Amino acid sequence: MTTLSGQPLSEAIGYSFSNANSAPHREHSFYPYTDNGGSTLGITGSDFAILAGDTRSVAGYNINSRYVPKVFKIGGDDETGDGAHIVLSVVGFAADGQALKERLDAVVKMYKYQHGKPMSVRACAQRLSTILYQKRFFPYYVHAILAGLDEEGKGALYSYDPVGSYEREQCRAAGSAASLIMPFLDNQVNFKNQYIPGSGEGHALEPKKAEPLPRETVEQLVRDAFTSAVERHIEVGDGLQMMVITRSGVEEIYYPLKKD
């Protein structure tokens, strides 16, 4: 026979409080993250960069709202966004994304205040990486993409993982439909698996060389990528928000997507 505490009766002292300090650790049942879904996408050209994202916000199978932007102007006027030359997109946990965007915005504004000149995209990209890495052990749960024009006026795009590892790229898709969009981009922007017809047989077949695309083509690619993603991913839809960064500023375009 055993006692309730599991020890044989003969050996049990059998009084409570005897092992009060060896209690099992209670699990933290509060989980500080959620996934708000959605997808973002960025492509650069020779004199522009485009960052886009859908505007749906979800919680599980619920649609929170059909218009919650994921793409933000950084360093511009608070109300109108005028004067901004850098754009950030964040996808993942929306509250972290919002906090990250506001921190970067404050950094860029303080930079301008202290140095009297706008922050370069390269500097901003490096700073964003350090901001993310500072929270290495309680990360901002977002995939960020930063876009602007570099010192030579060429489109610049930087993509990040949640802890600040980053890289400059020609194009990048992030978020829940990234795995659907990225292969499409590989093929259509970097011409992966495209060859010049009749250039040879087998290994001699010459791959089609990637070169910067014109703005109209890129805009159409972005629209196609999202209309396709909407068909195959439940968390993507409602609206497409596009920011086009050129020498003359940042242009915002809204394009409705299917709401189903």
Partner 1 sequence: MNHFPEAWGRPRDDVYGAYNPLYLQTTGPKAHTQSPAVTGTSVVAVKFNGGVAIAADNLASYGSLARFTDVKRLRKFGESAIVGFSGDVSDMQYIDRLLESIDIRENYSTNGNTLNAKNLHTYLSKVLYKRRSEFNPLWNHILVAGFDEDKKPFLSSADLLGTTFSAPHLATGFGAHLAIPILRRLFPEETPLESISKDEAVAALRECIKVLWYRDARSLDKYSLAVVTEAGIEIQEDQQVEAQSWAFAEAIKGYGAQVN
Partner 2 sequence: MFRNNYDNDAVTFSPQGRIFQVEYAQEAVKQGSVVVGLVNKTHAVLVGLKRNAEELSSYQKKIIEVDSHMGIAIAGLASDARVLSNFMKQQSLSSRMTYGRPLPVDRIVSQIGDRAQTNTQQYGKRPYGVGLLVAGVDESGPHLFEFQPSGMTQEMLACAIGARSQMARTYLERNLDKLESSSRDELITHGLRALKETLSQDKELTVDNTSVGVVGVAGEAGRGKIESFKLYEGQLLVPLLEALEAAEAGETKEEETMEVDS
Q: How far is the CB of 58 from partner 1 (least distance, A)?
A: 10
Which residue type, as a one-letter code, is found at position 104? L
Spatial neighbors of 171 by CB under 8 A, at least 6 apart, are: 41, 42, 43, 44, 157, 185, 189, 190
CB 71 within 8 A of CB 87: yes
Does 59 interact with partner 2 (rule: CB under 8 A)?
no
Query: Which residue's structure tokens are 């964003």?
Result: 128
d(CA 225, CA 163): 27
Does 106 interact with partner 2 (rule: CB under 8 A)?
yes
- Closer to partner 1 by Cβ: residue 13 or 204: 13
Q: How far is the CB of 230 from partner 1 (least distance, A)?
A: 17
Q: How far is the CB of 190 from partner 1 (least distance, A)?
A: 35
- The listed partner (partner 2, partner 1, none) that binds 165, CB under 5 to 8 Å by sort, is none
- The listed partner (partner 1, partner 2, none) that binds 3, CB under 5 to 8 Å by sort, is partner 1
**Is 208 exposed, middle or buried (CB count within 10 Å of its CB: 0-12, 13-18, 19+)?**
middle
Instruction: Compute how many residues bind partner 1; rule: CB under 8 A.
Output: 41
Does 110 interact with partner 2 (rule: CB under 8 A)?
yes
Q: Helix, strand or coil for residue 62?
A: strand
**Is 47 exposed, middle or buried (CB count within 10 Å of its CB: 0-12, 13-18, 19+)?**
middle
Does 204 interact with partner 1 (rule: CB under 8 A)?
no
Q: How close are the terminal C-alpha atoms of the chain, in Å?
A: 62
d(CA 229, CA 102): 28
Q: How far is the CB of 109 from partner 2 (least distance, A)?
A: 7
Binding positions for partner 1, 113-172, rule CB under 8 A: 138
Nearest in space to 149 (alpha carbons), one of 217, 215, 244, 82? 244
Instruction: Compute how many residues bind partner 2; rule: CB under 8 A.
Output: 10
The correct pick among 8, 26, 113, 152 for binding partner 1 (CB under 8 A) is 26
Q: How far is the CB of 93 from partner 2 (least distance, A)?
A: 19
- Closer to partner 2 by Cβ: residue 82 or 251: 82
Write out the residues near partner 2 by the rule CB under 8 A: 77-80, 82, 102, 106, 109-110, 113
